[in-house]
Structure 1
Amino acid sequence: MNRRVVITCAVTGAGDTVGKHPAIPVTPEQIAAAAVEAASAGAAVAHIHVRDPGTGKPSRDPALYREVMERIRASGTDVIVNLTAGMGGDLAIGPDHDPARFGPGTDLVGAGARAAHVAELLPEICTLDCGSLNFGDGSLVYVSTPDMLRRQAAIIQRLGVKPELEIFDTGNLWFAKRMLAEGLLDAPPLFQFCMGIPWGLPPEPRMMLALRDMLPAGSVWAGFGIGRMQMPMAAQAVLLGGNVRVGLEDNLYLDRGVHASNGSLVDRAVTIVEALGSQVAGPAEAREILGLPAPRG
């Protein structure tokens, strides 16, 4: 049981959710406002993707990340910023007769390009997606090879940014532990169990328990489920000693047929945490729990 729980809010993501929800944050102004809203509701960490302001499509543009971070800081809100560094791994396999003719949606770059905005902006946390994955039905593959991961981990370590190790399947955790043994990750390692994305980890209590039991000693971890499994997995994470992630990246609904906001999802997570007899950690305490240095001036 975790008695002091860090809540992360993933405020927009890179999924095809624009048009499926009336208020998906798209512009830097909207994304920053969503992070502030989440922090006001009790989230200590805001996980940030950016989107093209004109199309709503996912983007890797460092200027957009910079604007989001500047707007959050200008608001005076103390929230830990966690920038995604997973963009640039999408590979759409071509038709069966020509699979190497990669399809629309392919965006495949190397470790340096994936971390370019991290090197420029130096957030407190960035993500490191710890393996490749068949991403849903069809022919989309998320590519993150061992060589890519070692290079990206070394870049992030050199920058002094804390990597959040995204675990989409059991082999991802196996390899993350290898990187820790190779000295590419600093202690304490920070893990995020990403559950419910076809075809990775199923959102099942036994799976979360198994992952927890595989963690290196001294690890800090959180877990989340997508869609209707968001809140059940939040409760499960607290019960098993972990932290929580919610937000519109992972789930669009507060209740059946009722669209959520980032603030309402954090509110619901706070209710769950407190109903279980735990307390929600603020940003300063979260930095201690997550093993983060004092924020840069």
Structure 2
Amino acid sequence: MNQDVILTCAVTGAGDTPSRNPAVPVTPKEIADAAIEAARAGASIAHIHVRDPATGGVSHDSDYFREVVERVRAADTDIVLNLTAGGGGDLSPELGNGVLRAGSGSDLQTPAERHAPIKALLPEICTLDCGSINFGDMVYLNSAGWLREQAALVQAAGVKPELECFDTGHIRFARQLIDEGLIEGAPLFQLCLGIPWGAEAQAQTMLTMRDLLPHNAHWAAFGIGRMQMPMVAQAMLLGGHVRVGLEDNLYLSRGVKADNAGLVEKAGGIIEALGGRVMSPSDTRRHLGLRSPGGEA
């Protein structure tokens, strides 16, 4: 069991969730405020996506990321920042008149485009998704060559990649990146469970994925929806760290809509009830060997 637990809050995500829960932050100010509130509730890390303020839909605009980062860094409450670099991989294939094309809802970016906010803002952590997957009715597209290119860009920026794995094959590819020298130091993995049609959010799956990790890996796991809090307990019991937040789950309990701070507080209570403690942002930086915010290691 892990008694010193890093608690990440994924505050907004990219899905069509603001219409289902008004607490989902949309504007850069709302996203920054949510990260700060999560920090005050006890979170170690804030995982950040940005949205188009006018539509609430997904955005990759570096200016929106910049506003979020600057607002959080200017606050009197510390938190480690983990910016997504996994956007722009959504493919909805459509076949019409014998022609295959990227249909409505597709959103594709090159590795350099995905990396642009990371290069500009130098967060302490950014995500690196480690494979393609059937994501609901879409395909989340991450070719091996493109991921190698993106990993090299992250490495050159000196940012710690969080290796997001939605199935066991993703761990296999992440290990290949490590073997090729594209991931330095003790790797950081995030096991993403319960997303259709990836690895299931259950104890057996988490244990299997954990046992495939390199011996020196740091790792966390999360489940979506009603499995969010059970996976908090399971990850801690199996020696890992945890993630909660409105990106992955909109409810505090059955029929009760959540906000990010409330989810952090509930997860913190589970950790404490199991005899652990949530690591501070400064302890998290030391534990993971992170650079200082926007600066040197």
Indicate the TM-score class for this superposition, using the shorter chain for normalisation. over 0.9
Alignment check: 8 A CA contact 2:193 2:201 kept: yes
CA–CA distance in 1 between the matches of 2:101 and 2:178?
36
Alignment check: 8 A CA contact 2:125 2:160 kept: yes
Instruction: Spell out the pairing of 1:212-223 with structure 2 (5 A cutoff).
Output: 212-223=210-221
Q: Aligned with 1:20: secondary structure?
A: coil
Given the superposition, is the C-alpha separation of residues 206 and 198 from structure 1 closer, same or farther in structure 2, using an over 3 Å criterion?
same
The structure 2 residue matched to 1:263, chosen from 261, 264, 283, is 261
TM-score (norm 2): 0.97
Alpha-carbon offset, residue 108 of structure 1:
1.1
Q: Does 1:151 align with 2:145?
A: no
What amino acid is aligned across from residue 288 of structure 1 in structure 2?
Answer: R
Instruction: Spell out the pairing of 1:130-279 with structure 2 (5 A cutoff).
Output: 130-136=130-136, 138=137, 140-279=138-277
1:117 aligned residue: 117
What amino acid is aligned across from residue 123 of structure 1 in structure 2?
Answer: P
Alignment check: 8 A CA contact 1:93 1:99 kept: no
Alignment check: 8 A CA contact 1:124 1:295 kept: yes
CA–CA distance in 1 between the matches of 2:169 and 2:189?
14
Instruction: Spell out the pairing of 1:16-31 with structure 2 (5 A cutoff).
Output: 16-31=16-31
Given the superposition, is the C-alpha separation of residues 240 and 97 from structure 1 closer, same or farther in structure 2, using an over 3 Å criterion?
farther
Please report the RMSD computed on the Cα atoms of aligned residues, expressed in angstroms.
1.1
Identity %: 58
CA–CA distance in 1 between the matches of 2:182 and 2:10?
26
Q: Give deviations 1:122-168, integer Å, cap 9, x for gaps.
A: 000000010001111x3x11100100110000000000000000001
Given the superposition, is the C-alpha separation of residues 141 and 74 from structure 1 closer, same or farther in structure 2, using an over 3 Å criterion?
same
What amino acid is aligned across from residue 103 of structure 1 in structure 2?
Answer: G
CA–CA distance in 2 between the matches of 1:9 and 1:107?
25
2:33 aligned residue: 33
What amino acid is aligned across from residue 5 of structure 2 in structure 1?
Answer: V
Aligned length: 295
Alpha-carbon offset, residue 106 of structure 1:
1.0
Alignment check: 8 A CA contact 1:167 1:173 kept: yes
What amino acid is aligned across from residue 176 of structure 1 in structure 2?
Answer: A
What amino acid is aligned across from residue 158 of structure 1 in structure 2?
Answer: A
Instruction: Give ranges in structure 2 of 5+ residues lacking alignment.
Output: none
Alignment check: 8 A CA contact 2:12 2:25 kept: yes
1:84 aligned residue: 84
Moved more, 281-290 or 57-66: 281-290
CA–CA distance in 2 between the matches of 1:236 and 1:97?
49
Alpha-carbon offset, residue 22 of structure 1:
1.8
TM-score (norm 1): 0.97
What amino acid is aligned across from residue 118 of structure 1 in structure 2?
Answer: I
Alignment check: 8 A CA contact 2:122 2:294 kept: no
